[in-house]
Amino acid sequence: MPDSLTITASSIDAGLLSLPWSTGLAEWPSETIVSLPKGISRHLVRFANLSGRVVAVKETTAEMARREYEMLGSLVRLDVPCVERVAAIEGRRDAKGDPLPAALVTAHLRFSLPYRALFTQVLRPDTASRLVDALAVLLVRLHTVGFFWGDVSLSNTLFRRDAGAFAAYLVDAETGELHEAGLTDGQRAHDLDIARTNIAGEIMDLEAGGRLEGGVDAIAIADGIMSSYHSLWATLTEWESFSSDEAWRITERVRRLNDLGFDIGEMSIHTTSDGTTVSIHPKVVDAGHHQRRLLRLTGLDVQENQARRLLNDMDEYSARISRLGSDEEMVAHEWLTRVFEPVVKAIPWDLRAKLEPAELFHQVLDHRWFISQAQGRSVPLAEVLASYIDNVLRHRRDEATVMGPPTETTSLAVIDPDTPDDEVPTDTGTIDWRDLV
């Protein structure tokens, strides 16, 4: 390791010293590199093995590496969905002593995929809309903490499945700015305009490559982020006025935000001088209402929509066993040990890498609903589980597949579980996620 090498790390990992920093990233040996799908980037990015886990390494300037490293740390402290920083590497030199670019190292987000990897040959309109909706939620969360992104796009985002929807995570923060006083309307509008332009371009690029389903309007998809963003932003931040005898509307506003997955940490309430009108305004809004409740009750740390689905099943379980008035923590523990964990443990070991446990449980519940509807009866979960494993999960392709040799120019096709068999490429090799994370 060259004497000039400087490593700034968020945690001590001796494995950082063994990575080939004196070699350009494009030339790193195959035993160090992991082939995973990645989005489009202006920088060279590769995945590597680090102490038994997978990290993303991006070559950039020393200033940008330091800046993004610090920014990601700030976003994590603010509980914003983003990739986890690992290290910033400066002072790299090759064997001849010539300087090499600095590098930013971030942790690979398990079970996440870039948007291009969420379809095979064509992008379906409903998938595109769900991705844009997820990005709108992420942008609102960023703006509520005063973060101006400056380069909002699908390419700078990773997506994880979330009970029929997607959860979006920020990947690239190098253009971002954090404003403690909050963002102006102009800054928010500028970020939105960047998002709309970039999304339209990304969808049009897919269209030009014949990877967009016929009849899909790229501009309409891009416009979707505007309506989704404005609707959510208004619900989270707007003043609401009502007569003093309608105080129940305060509770209704809180419930409405809870249903969207947000908690009100602080609210401003004003009354007119004659006391006839009341105005309320949420001042501190925190995302993750259902996540926090499920984590508190069960210790399960999952996505927001997954948490909502699991909590609903827990409530149904409580009703079935006639314990609506029982202690919530007791019911949660019983549901966890008698319902959730047996389902997860019943999955054969060789199939457990296909989906996260919470997403798998969500799909089992969906499968139970479809079977019950078809058979006109309430099908027991054990019977549903056997059907799901044999007829759905066993035939489901892994989240990521690699076509061709694992090189920098590897072309990637990731299989959507809803893709018909005749649309799936056959010349693929499967990545086993257990070997990657």
Same domain, 77 and 139: no
- Among candidate residues 113, 115, 116, 89, the one with its CA nearest the CA of residue 28: 89
- Is residue 242 a part of any domain in this protein? no
Domain boundary among 107, 134, 158: 107
Q: pLDDT (tens digit, 9 = 90+) per residue, 251-288?
A: 888 888 888 888 887 788 888 887 778 888 787 777 88
Give the model's pLDDT for residue 40: 62
State mean pLDDT over 362-387: 88
Same domain, 378 and 297: yes
pLDDT band at residue 114 under the 50/70/90 scheme: confident
Same domain, 271 and 337: no
- Is residue 419 a part of any domain in this protein? yes
The domain containing residue 382 runs over which residues? 290-346+356-395
Same domain, 258 and 364: no
With 0.85 as the threshold, say if the pTM is over it.
no
Same domain, 40 and 62: yes
Give the model's pLDDT for residue 414: 36
Same domain, 103 and 118: no
- Is residue 427 a part of any domain in this protein? yes
pLDDT band at residue 408 under the 50/70/90 scheme: very low
Total residue count of the chain as it appears in this document: 437
Asked if pLDDT for residue 411 goes beyond 90, the answer is: no
- 97 Ramachandran zone, left/alpha/beta (phi>0; psi -120 to 50): left
Asked if pLDDT for residue 141 goes beyond 90, the answer is: yes
Same domain, 310 and 273: no
Q: Give the list of residues 6+ apart from residue 240 with CB closer than 8 angstroms, or none.
A: 249, 253, 279, 280, 281
Asked if pLDDT for residue 375 goes beyond 90, the answer is: no
Q: Are strands 6-9 and 85-90 parallel, antiparallel or unpaired?
A: antiparallel
Looking at every residue in the chain, the average pLDDT score rounds to 82
The residue ranking higher by pLDDT, 100 or 322, is 100
Domain count, the chain: 5
164, 305 Cβ separation under 8 angstroms: yes
pLDDT band at residue 218 under the 50/70/90 scheme: confident
pLDDT band at residue 325 under the 50/70/90 scheme: low
Same domain, 342 and 316: yes
Query: φ, ψ for residue 117 (rounded to 5)?
Result: -95, 10
Q: Are strands 147-148 and 157-162 parallel, antiparallel or unpaired?
A: unpaired
State mean pLDDT over 54-81: 94
The domain that holds 218 is classified in CATH as 1.10.510.10
pLDDT band at residue 421 under the 50/70/90 scheme: very low
Domain boundary among 81, 107, 133: 107
- Is residue 121 a part of any domain in this protein? yes
Same domain, 83 and 192: no
C-alpha 435/C-alpha 353 separation (Å) is 9
- Among candidate residues 298, 289, 302, the one with its CA nearest the CA of residue 335: 298
Exposed (0-12), middle (13-18) or buried (19+): which is 32, by Cβ within 10 Å?
middle
- Is residue 351 a part of any domain in this protein? no
Q: Between the CA of residue 393 and those of 77, 282, 417, 428, what are the distances in Å? A: 37, 43, 9, 19
Same domain, 96 and 134: no
Same domain, 204 and 142: yes
Least confident of 41-45, 133-137, 335-339, 418-422: 418-422
Same domain, 47 and 23: yes
